[in-house]
Amino acid sequence: MKQFWQRFQQSSFYVKWTNWEYYPVYIANIPTVFFWLYFGIRSRSLFYFSAVNPVIETGGVMGESKINIFNRLPAETIPTTILIPKAEKNIDTILEKINKANIVFPLIAKPDVGERGFLVEKIANSAALAGYLKKISVDFIIQDFINYPLEVSILYHRFPDATEGKITSICIKKTLSVTGDGVSTIEKLMEEYPRARFQLERFRKDYSDLLIKVPTLGAQVELEPIGNHCRGTTFLNGNKYIDKTLEKVFDKIALKMEGIHYGRFDIKCESIALLKQGKQFKVLEFNGIASEPAHIYDPEYGTLQAYRDIFSHWKIIYNLSKIQQKKGVAAMSWKEAFQSVRSYLAYMKGAKKNGLQGN
């Protein structure tokens, strides 16, 4: 009986349903829907949030263009980035644009509009880029691959006309990896590690050659360089690093982002200490209203406290929207919201269909 219970505790079913970070999105977000509705009723507009970041599509809930946001960030804070239109399928032309921008392999490719790491790939060479072109059917961006060792997400907001803002969440990302024992294949190591086990189907499909390798004893093998939770990255609570010094770094950035007051900076940096000095970091992405305080997905973080934190952030969004609307910034109308949802769903349906066919 004891052995059965131990095996059951290691099962994917048990791990998934006893750790809230693995709950399906449609279940995990049920309380969030009520938070949104509560503040929507108070503000007399269900789309109050869209006034917070008026220069971003829907305020950053869905359908936002990454290149639009990158163009609003200080150039020195972002990787070299170029936009490739969906109609451009000539690999030689794209390589010429890459060379002109001084971007080298490996590089990052991602849809200009996307979600949850969909079709975000680290591209090793021109052959891999040609393969990516077969999968992508929408505008996409190409960026320098930033090789700093630490990836963090920082949720920040600043009230209109204020010169100082607040950091309310820091998440330290630990990308998916396994440690070799000198005997087991990577596939076996992944089977024995619940977080990696959830990714096995994808790896069997896309990286079968990797799975048969046997790492040496103690060797750390990074399986996934993209720091998305849905790709196995562990999110750790880094709120202990919040202080005025770090906030001043992001005040300097945010004051140059006109029309944007709330969102999460996804960053790679050399260290937290250097980040606090405003040195050796790059902003990989900036996400608007839909940004969560990602520290809540720390495996040690309590579910109740996580929802308290989500509620407090929706309250911040509500307060920001009230000020914006008093300043004459209108929230989306029902018609605009409906059009945004319809366009986004159609876009993602087509992008995912073609992306899966390409795989």
Specify whether 254 is located in the same domain as 311. Answer: yes
In the block, residue with structure tokens 């917070």: 52
Total domains, the chain: 3
Specify whether 270 is located in the same domain as 302. Answer: yes
Residue 171 φ then ψ, to 5°: -115, 130
Domain boundary among 162, 197, 219: 219
Specify whether 158 is located in the same domain as 128. Answer: no
Which percentage of the chain shows pLDDT scores above 70? 93
Which percentage of the chain shows pLDDT scores above 90? 81
Residue 1 domain-assigned (yes or no): no
Give me the count of residues in the chain: 359
Specify whether 207 is located in the same domain as 231. Answer: no
The confidence band for 11, taking pLDDT boundaries of 50, 70 and 90, is: low
Specify whether 184 is located in the same domain as 120. Answer: no
Residue 194 φ then ψ, to 5°: -50, -45
Residue 84: give its domain's CATH number: 3.30.1490.20
Residue 5 predicted with pLDDT over 80: no
pLDDT number for residue 358: 46
Q: What's the CA gap between 359 and 352, in Å, rounded?
A: 11
How large is the average pLDDT for residues 281-294?
A: 96
Specify whether 158 is located in the same domain as 129. Answer: no
| Residue 185, SS3 per DSSP | coil
Residue 284 domain-assigned (yes or no): yes
Residue 321 domain-assigned (yes or no): yes
pLDDT number for residue 17: 64
Residue 141 domain-assigned (yes or no): yes
Domain of residue 139 covers 80-145
Specify whether 118 is located in the same domain as 62. Answer: no
Specify whether 270 is located in the same domain as 187. Answer: no
Specify whether 121 is located in the same domain as 84. Answer: yes
pLDDT number for residue 118: 82
pLDDT number for residue 12: 66
Specify whether 163 is located in the same domain as 281. Answer: yes
Structure tokens at 48: 């109050």
Residue 334 domain-assigned (yes or no): no
For residue 274, the number of C-alpha atoms closer than 13 Å in the C-beta half-sphere is 13
- pLDDT tens for 29-45 read 999 999 999 999 999 99
Is the peptide bond preceding residue 106 cis, with omega within 30 degrees of 0? Answer: yes
pLDDT number for residue 2: 55
Which of 102-106, 148-152, 191-195 shows the lowest per-residue confidence on average (mean pLDDT)?
191-195
Q: What's the CA gap between 18 and 22, in Å, rounded?
A: 8
Average of per-residue pLDDT values in the chain: 92
Which of 4-8, 32-36, 84-88, 221-225 shows the lowest per-residue confidence on average (mean pLDDT)?
4-8
> Vertex 260, ends 257 and 264: CA angle to 5°?
95
Residue 351 domain-assigned (yes or no): no
Domain boundary among 219, 241, 271: 219
Q: Give the β-pairing of 150-157 and 262-269.
A: antiparallel
Residue 343 domain-assigned (yes or no): no
- pLDDT tens for 186-207 read 999 999 998 899 899 999 998 9
Specify whether 310 is located in the same domain as 193. Answer: no
Specify whether 164 is located in the same domain as 283. Answer: yes
Q: What's the CA gap between 119 and 123, in Å, rounded?
A: 11
Residue 112 domain-assigned (yes or no): yes
pLDDT number for residue 359: 46
Domain boundary among 219, 244, 275: 219
Residue 261: give its domain's CATH number: 3.30.470.20
Q: What's the CA gap between 334 and 331, in Å, rounded?
A: 10
26 compared with 317, residue with greater pLDDT = 317
Instruction: Read off the DSSP letter of residue 53.
Output: S
pLDDT number for residue 92: 96
Contact 331, 321 (CB under 8 A): yes
- pLDDT tens for 312-359 read 999 999 999 999 999 999 999 999 999 999 999 988 887 876 654 444
